[in-house]
Chains A and B, each alone.
Chain A
Amino acid sequence: MAEQAGYLFPNDLHILWMLMIVMYPYITGLVAGAFILSSLYHVFGRNELRPIGRLSLVASLGFLLFAPMTLMLHLGHPERGFNIMVTPNVSSAMAMFGFIYAAYLTLLLFEIWLVHRADIIVLASRSRGLLRTFYKVLALGVYDVSGEAKRIDHRVLVVLAAIGIPGASLLHGYVGFIFGAVKANPWWSTPLMPIIFLCSAIVSGIAMVVILYQIGMKFSGRRIDAPCMQSLARWLWLFVILSVTLELLEIMTLAYERAEEWTVIGPLLSDQLAFSFIGLQMVLGAMVPIILLGIVVLMSQYLSDQIRNTLCFVASLLLLVQVFAMRWNVVVGGQIFSKSLRGFRSGHSPGLFEKEGIILAVLIFVLPLLFIGLFNKILPVFERPESAEEAEGKQGLPAGAAPLL
């Protein structure tokens, strides 16, 4: 039984949304963030981000595939989970998850297919036996890689990516809405919540791509593209500043208004969540990366590539912690105080082996990374110089490729 201070409604002694519900917005945030980053290249023509154009899409897919696991592990009756799509209650914010998820997954798969289409055809023509059949299946019967076909591909891709931006925003804005629309909980109930969630999602998405890109380059023995890293640092810096500003604005408004709920939210942040809010979310996770990225952005000409990469890597790691801490502070923090607004229960420490325990949470975080690695074995996540050339307009199949039809 949890310890309590002050008066809690008797049923508020039990914490309900635990680690998996922290993981859920965290993972979907990575999905949305990585996608929005990819659209900076695909839609907004930030060509310096080309080296991570594919990686960010595949990372988005990887995390998207495993996001429902968090919910399934949380549900009291996961076997009935699919009812959310069969008999949805249209007035429920949560009921929309299935539809938004399905639509977004379809869009993402199509976009990834388009991005990799030329590679699939090349690989199909170069491989033999079962592998060749596999790639031919992936090609979906379309083998036209002429300049005209590629131009159409590109146009469709831009449209899809453009639809994907509101799609990704909706996916994650909606996760914020799930919390923001609970009027019973003053720590959650704010119209700012979807925007805060979205901003921090973009932060986590970019940070994840920075880390994956650097690791990917390290393993493949290739050079990290300096303009790309510089650009990533700039975007990351912008969004972390936006994100932290919004997080602070919400709290400052509550404090300044001296709203009734401030009587619990004040002590909640300064006392109950002192470590995870002040320590992780604000100081180590926000202030430090803002300074590190500020150095990268403002003192670019004085930095060697190695220092830039290291600063970006460390800042990104800290930002991944920051966003996780933010999710934790929202989800768990919102349940530490009672709706009586008169008392607190002790914080939540997840166990190691339980259904909503640390091991499964780590697994859900690692599985998408393994997926990205596996995907890279099948289709190149990092554009090779020759495929870059092809994309520039080189027509037809490369030399040595066997005709497919």
Chain B
Amino acid sequence: MTQASSSHSLPSRCTRREFIERGACALGAGVAVLVIGPAAVGSGSTATQPTATAPGAYDWTKHKYVYVIDTRKCIGCGACVRACTRENDVPPHYFRTWVERYQVSRTGDVNVESPNGAMDGFEPEVTGDDVTKAFFFPKLCCHCTNTPCVQLCPVGASYRTLDGVVLVDQKRCIGCGYCVQGCPYGTRFIHPVTHTASKCTLCYHRLTRGLTTACVQACPVGARMLGDTKKVGDRVAEIIATERVQVLQPELLTEPNCYYLGFSREAR
């Protein structure tokens, strides 16, 4: 009884008036968090993003970009593909980045798909197979160090910047398509309107303003990461240095700068 009375005595410290007051405050605070919260969080995340700077101040000798994709995190939502398309005005049915879905059955059959590059994500899994392993696999230009596309370009329109980005000079490209044939990863295409080679620029127009790429910014789960190996303590560079990462088709010795965490042998 004593215990009971003592336990009963606890609420007795808080009068009904106080209870209502505290409850109202808590409710008010909750509502405030719900209403103002997203805006506050949004502004907070913007604040954590580097603010855009004038491209003139950019020094390409002070950067070396690398890209890491954690396939274990990717949920196949396609936000990156949509963001890339909007940011870079990519024509319909052409892709600077896309997401593949791999489904591996117990018998070893591999089903790969990327409906419209995963622009609208994926349908729920419909295969009747006994799927034992499934994963999403985003792709983009690997910005290879030893890149075949730059080697093949007959007029030098494809080039590699000092900060490690493979670009195409739209005013020089003659539209022969040799680079498109030479890219083992299928990341290049001839733009149907400009008739020149087009590809992922790693959003170079954003990088030179101190921003990250559209796809990295759009990824809701942080599966896509852009790093800078010339930045001291760079988190992404640290992943490449310390984790077991893999690149696409390493046997071709193109030395891609796009690394994958959670790589699986079915991916190509």
User: Could you tell me which A residues sit within 8 Å of B by CB distance?
Assistant: 1, 7, 9-14, 16-17, 71, 74-78, 80-81, 83-84, 87-89, 91-95, 97, 178, 182-185, 334-335, 338-342
Contact = CB atoms under 8 A, between A and B. Distances in A.
Nearest to B116: A10
Nearest to A185: B181
Contacts of A88: 154-156
B268 A340 contact: yes
A76 B187 contact: no
B176 interface: yes
B148 A183 contact: yes
B252 A76 contact: no
B153 A92 contact: yes
A89 B153 CA distance: 7
Contacts of A94: 152, 154, 176, 178
A95 B153 CA distance: 8
Nearest to A341: B268
A184 B181 contact: yes
B21 to A, nearest CB: 60
Given A76-B196, A94-B176, A13 B93 contact: yes
A175 B106 CA distance: 46
B182 interface: yes
23 contacts: A7-B100, A7-B113, A9-B185, A10-B94, A10-B95, A10-B117, A14-B93, A16-B180, A75-B176, A76-B177, A76-B194, A76-B195, A77-B175, A80-B173, A80-B174, A87-B156, A88-B154, A89-B155, A95-B154, A97-B154, A182-B152, A334-B181, A335-B181
Contacts of B263: none
Contacts of B111: 7
B224 interface: no
A87 B174 contact: no
A307 B223 CA distance: 73
Interface in B153-207: 153-156, 172-178, 180-190, 194-196
Given A83-B174, A94-B154, A183-B252, A11 B196 contact: no
A102 B179 CA distance: 24
A114 to B, nearest CB: 33
A11 B139 CA distance: 12
A81 B180 CA distance: 17
Contacts of A17: 177, 181
Interface in B214-235: none
A11 B93 CA distance: 8
B189 A92 contact: no
B254 to A, nearest CB: 9
Interface in B96-151: 98, 100, 110-114, 116-117, 139, 148, 150-151
B172 A92 contact: no
Given A88-B155, A91-B151, A94-B152, A75 B188 contact: no
A92 B154 contact: yes
B113 A339 contact: no
B155 A84 contact: yes
Interface string B250-268: 0010000000000000001
A334 to B, nearest CB: 8
Given A14-B93, A14-B189, 9 more contacts: A11-B188, A76-B173, A77-B175, A80-B173, A89-B156, A93-B152, A182-B148, A183-B182, A335-B181
A76 B93 CA distance: 19
Contacts of A91: 150-151
Contacts of B178: 92, 94, 178
B189 A11 contact: yes
Given A182-B182, A183-B184, A340-B268, A7 B112 contact: yes
Contacts of B117: 10
B74 to A, nearest CB: 16
A163 B117 CA distance: 52
Contact of B174 (A10, A76, A178, A185): A76
B151 A76 contact: no
Contacts of B190: 14, 16, 76
A340 B176 contact: no
Contacts of A87: 155-156, 172
B175 A1 contact: no
A75 B174 contact: yes
Contact of B185 (A75, A178, A334, A339): A339
Given A184-B184, A185-B181, A76 B176 contact: yes
Nearest to A98: B154
Contacts of B112: 7, 340, 342
Nearest to B266: A342
A298 B111 CA distance: 55
